[in-house]
């Protein structure tokens, strides 16, 4: 037969959708449809199976041995080649094991192991999209279901018609989402095969107009019907028929013996059945009421056993308990297994404040049986922030009343000291020649037991020390006033965080010269609304703290700006001595310092915290004793 008397269809799947074999013979919707197209076009139909990549190459190659390829592709995929009228629509959705959480959208797949059939239309759809899940490539959808049973993947994204065929063979697998991707089955050909594609389209339209296409669709895609392997079904039905025959024969004999007994017990059974129905109705009503109460509880409630198996849960946030980012509020590591073991061992309840990313949670564990624990999980971010704001407001109120009196009582004597020291310094300069002249006349003259020239130098040094101390007292008072002073946000302007980092780097060059400082600036140049001088003050203070904490020769400090979503991020990381949980809790309290002996006032981070909050920002401090500190400042981007 000549090439023009045949149509060569290329099929990329080893198990094309809705195709089976019965005694070695291919059958299915696609097989019957292609055969009818061959009859109407008076062409011989040849089916060749190739890989998806080979078919894509062939459909663009006019000299290939493939005339038409049959593909399922996403509905939003741009098709440049000649194609048939739509044949049927399909979709893909997520499948998980029974009891697992539902998948509402793509965001629910983040962090999960997801099986994707290589070369399928799901793979094509995802090829140019960011995938935030752990992808596991499989050759067949059935392979994905097998991995799901073995807990080697968490989710399988499968074409719905194939999944419907597979689900009876894997009863522990369920459909857990609505359609995630919509696709269409089409025939696609090279532009040189346009005439041939027109013939195929004419045949398709004839089948649709005659109603034969609808009969084929109803036969293979009928609502609620699942197509299965016919050979396997025939064998099962035959074996079932034999079993039924034996049971029927035995039943006839047995029925003769028990019919009399059944009649005697019929009335008693009817009475008992009526009573049981009443009891079951009451139990069902109580169960529904109890379930409604549990579902209405605002807290997340989960019951687990000692092996951490979830016996019941109404909580969509229960995955937090297994997250590495879910830790105690004092940064200690949380381990669910250890917590459950301790509660069961002591048979006492356990309550703790927890933190997950930027959220705060309250966790409660209560023993309810010898080997079962009920877990209550409630978000407390708003309560935590209100409590912090209330504590800080109380401190500010007290400090505001105190600072005015301190400023007045300290600044006045400090001013007198500075003024007097200036007079002493000027007097020392004038008295030096007179002292030198007098010493020549009286070689044994001493000042405070010292030689006059030595005594004058000591006096000059003491004047300088007194002046420096007075100025330091003045700076501390100014910091105290700045901490309690309100700020007007209307004065804010557009400030680039990259510029803030560069200015702070220049101003702290003397302190950082003994450290290895790395600057990583975002190419997006994040800008916020704020006061540049105040932001300089914050970063300079953080750099100085990092230098003080990193005294070793291999000390490293990394300053970085970045943009995440609608937030501008400024972070500073050091590998210094770090802080324990007790220090971390008090680090922003006024007058709290671990460097009191080195002259620290305890106001630096307090002022920084106040400035950041005035800029509607957030400061997150993560530190581990002996491993360093990471401080992350988050601000809203200026638009």
Task: Report the C-alpha gap between 515 and 504 in whole angstroms.
Answer: 15
Partners of 156 in beta bridges: 95, 115
Specify whether the CB–CB gap between 62 and 165 falls below 8 A. no
Q: How many other CB atoms are there within 10 angstroms of residue 322's CB atom?
A: 10
300-379 and 489-636 share one fold: no
Q: What is the per-residue pLDDT for 634?
A: 95
The residue ranges of the chain whose pLDDT is under 70 are 1-4, 13-24, 75-80, 221-237, 290-298, 315, 389-405, 407-408, 472, 475-476, 478-490, 551-553, 596-602
The answer to whether 88 and 196 are in contact (CB under 8 A) is no
Lookup: tokens for 171: 């009863």
- Note the pLDDT of residue 562: 94
Which of 482, 492, 487 minimizes the C-alpha distance to 537? 482
| pLDDT value, residue 133 | 92
Neighbours of 284 (CB within 10 A): 10
Task: Count the neighbouring beta carbons within 10 Å of the beta carbon of residue 380.
Answer: 17
Rg of the chain on CA atoms, in Å: 40
Q: What are the structure tokens assigned to 366, written together? A: 């209560």
Q: Is 22 helix (H, G, I), strand (E, B) or coil?
A: strand
Determine contact, residues 55/69, Cβ cutoff 8 Å: yes
Collapsed DSSP state (helix, strand, coil) of residue 42: coil
Answer for the pair 148, 163: CB distance below 8 angstroms, yes or no: no
Token pair in block for residue 391: 């504590």
Question: Domain extents for the chain?
Answer: 3-221, 229-282, 300-379, 383-484, 489-636
Please, what CATH class does the domain formed by 3-221 belong to? alpha beta
Q: What is the pLDDT of residue 515?
A: 86
Topology of the domain comprising 300-379: Beta-Lactamase (3.30.450)
CA dihedral 607, 608, 614, 617 (to 10 degrees): -160
CATH of domain 489-636: 3.30.565.10
CB atoms within 10 A of CB 202: 14
What is residue 168's predicted lDDT score, i.e. its pLDDT? 85
DSSP 152: S
Among residues 83, 177, 197, 85, the alpha carbon closest in space to that of 122 is found at: 177
* 330 contacts: CB under 8 Å, gap ≥ 6: 581, 584, 585
SS3 91: strand
């Amino acid at each position: 037969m000549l090439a023009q008397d045949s149509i060569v269809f290329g099929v990329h799947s080893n198990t094309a959708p809705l195709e089976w074999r019965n005694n070695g013979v291919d059958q299915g919707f696609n097989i019957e449809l292609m055969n009818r197209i061959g009859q109407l076009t008076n062409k011989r139909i040849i089916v060749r199976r190739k890989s998806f990549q080979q078919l894509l190459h062939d459909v663009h190659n006019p000299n290939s041995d493939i005339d038409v390829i049959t593909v399922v592709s996403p509905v939003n995929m741009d098709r440049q080649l000649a194609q048939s009228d739509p044949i049927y629509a399909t979709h893909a959705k997520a499948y998980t094991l029974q009891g697992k959480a539902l998948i509402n959208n793509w965001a629910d797949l983040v962090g999960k192991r997801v099986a994707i059939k290589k070369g399928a239309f799901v793979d094509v759809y995802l090829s140019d999209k960011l995938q935030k899940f752990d992808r596991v490539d499989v050759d067949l959808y059935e392979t994905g279901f097998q991995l799901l049973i073995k807990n080697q993947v968490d989710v399988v994204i499968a074409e719905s018609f194939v999944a419907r065929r597979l689900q009876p063979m894997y009863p522990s697998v369920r459909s857990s989402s609505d359609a995630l991707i919509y696709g269409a089955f089409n025939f696609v050909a090279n532009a040189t095969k346009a005439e041939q594609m027109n013939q195929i389209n004419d045949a398709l339209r004839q089948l649709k107009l005659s109603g034969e296409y609808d009969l084929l669709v109803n036969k293979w895609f009928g609502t609620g019907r699942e197509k299965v392997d016919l050979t396997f079904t025939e064998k099962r039905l035959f074996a079932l028929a034999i079993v039924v025959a034996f049971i029927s024969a035995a039943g006839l004999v047995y029925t003769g013996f028990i019919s009399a007994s059944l009649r005697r017990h019929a009335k008693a059974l009817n009475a008992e059945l009526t009573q049981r129905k009443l009891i079951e109705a009451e139990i069902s009503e109580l169960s529904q009421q109890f379930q409604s109460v549990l579902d209405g509880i605002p807290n997340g409630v989960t019951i687990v056993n000692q092996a951490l198996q979830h016996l019941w849960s109404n909580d969509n946030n229960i995955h937090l308990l297994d997250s590495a980012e879910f830790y105690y509020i004092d940064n200690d590591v949380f381990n669910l297994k250890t917590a459950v073991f301790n509660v069961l061992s002591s048979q006492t309840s356990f309550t703790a404040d927890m933190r997950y990313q930027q959220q705060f949670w309250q966790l409660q564990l209560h023993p309810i049986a010898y080997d079962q624990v009920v877990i209550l999980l409630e978000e407390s971010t708003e309560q935590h922030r209100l409590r912090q704001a209330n504590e800080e407001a109380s401190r500010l109120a007290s400090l505001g009343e105190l600072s005015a009196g301190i400023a007045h009582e300290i600044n006045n004597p400090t001013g007198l000291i500075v003024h007097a020291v200036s007079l002493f310094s000027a007097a020392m300069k004038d008295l030096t020649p007179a002292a030198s002249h007098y010493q020549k006349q009286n070689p044994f003259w001493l000042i405070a037991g010292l030689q006059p020239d030595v005594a004058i130098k000591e006096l000059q040094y003491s004047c300088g020390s007194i002046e420096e101390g007075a100025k330091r007292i003045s700076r501390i008072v100014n910091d105290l006033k700045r901490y309690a002073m309100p700020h007007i946000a209307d004065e804010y302007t557009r400030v680039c965080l990259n510029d803030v980092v560069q200015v702070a780097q220049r101003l702290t060059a003397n302190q950082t010269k003994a450290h290895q400082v790395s600057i990583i600036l975002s190419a997006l140049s994040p800008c916020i609304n704020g006061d540049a001088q105040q932001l300089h003050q914050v970063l300079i203070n953080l750099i100085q703290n990092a230098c003080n904490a990193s005294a070793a020769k291999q000390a490293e400090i990394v300053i970085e700006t970045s943009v995440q979503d609608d937030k501008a991020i400024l972070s500073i990381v050091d590998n210094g001595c770090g802080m324990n949980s007790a220090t971390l809790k008090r680090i922003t309290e006024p007058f709290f310092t671990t460097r009191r002996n080195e002259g620290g006032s305890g106001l630096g981070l307090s002022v920084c915290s106040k400035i950041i909050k005035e800029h509607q920002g957030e400061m997150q401090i993560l530190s581990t004793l002996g491993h360093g500190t990471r401080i992350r400042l988050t601000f809203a981007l200026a638009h």
